[in-house]
Amino acid sequence: MENLRRQYTQCGLKESDLCGCPFEQFRLWFEDAQHRIKDDFFEPNAMALATSNKKGEVSNRVVLLKGFDEKGFRFFTNYESSKAKDLEENPNGSLLFYWPQIERQIRIAGGVVKTDRAVSRQYFDSRPRESRISAVISPQSRPVENRQVLEEAAAKESEQVSGGEIELPDYWGGYRVTPTLFEFWQGRENRLHDRLQYTSCDGRWEIQRLGP
């Protein structure tokens, strides 16, 4: 494994390349990733979410970004999941987008709050029917005997609701990460990567270059 390495040669990142607003810079990189990466398996909105509990024990998992604006970045989950329990104890989190095809990463950190119920309902109703049923029946992060138990529960729920509406469960909804820090990382040759960081300070954003 010691010999597994590659050079990053696609481009660099200068301070003059950046927008003054990190949300706008994120939008530009996100759209660029969608345009440049031609891969059937690529999900540009896949992001690693790191949380920790009151003991300082850290957990990480990949979730999907389902919207962002200058209030923050939204994702949705079961409010009884392990990540939700972490966020009850420590309402802070970190996101990481990694796009190796274009040698870029974006790191975002900040406080995390639940979205309004109307926001959760709007997204829930937009999901495919089968995905909504899965959200209703899944005891997320808790042990289950086997897969058959889940499939039977989904089939039973589908039969019960038949052609009717699938109601948003009280235990399911969205979170919003409100950033206090962004880091835009561009891979460079010989590990002299470009790392430019935005930090929130008194209502404005300061930009600094970090050592690689």
Domain ranges in the chain are 18-116+172-210
Taking the whole predicted model, whether its pTM rises above 0.85 is answered as: yes
Mean pLDDT value across the chain? 95
pLDDT reported for residue 127: 96
Q: What is the pLDDT of residue 203?
A: 86
Residue 100: what pLDDT? 95
Poorest-pLDDT segment among 38-52, 110-124, 149-163 = 149-163
The answer to whether domain 18-116+172-210 has CATH 2.30.110.10 is yes
**pLDDT value at position 47?**
98
Q: Which band of pLDDT confidence, cut at 50, 70 and 90, is reported for residue 163?
A: confident
Q: Residue 81: what pLDDT?
A: 97
Catalytic residues: 191
The beta strands (E) that lie in the chain are given as: 46-52, 58-64, 68-69, 72-78, 92-99, 104-114, 172-186, 194-201, 204-210
Specify the residue for token string 């979205």: 115
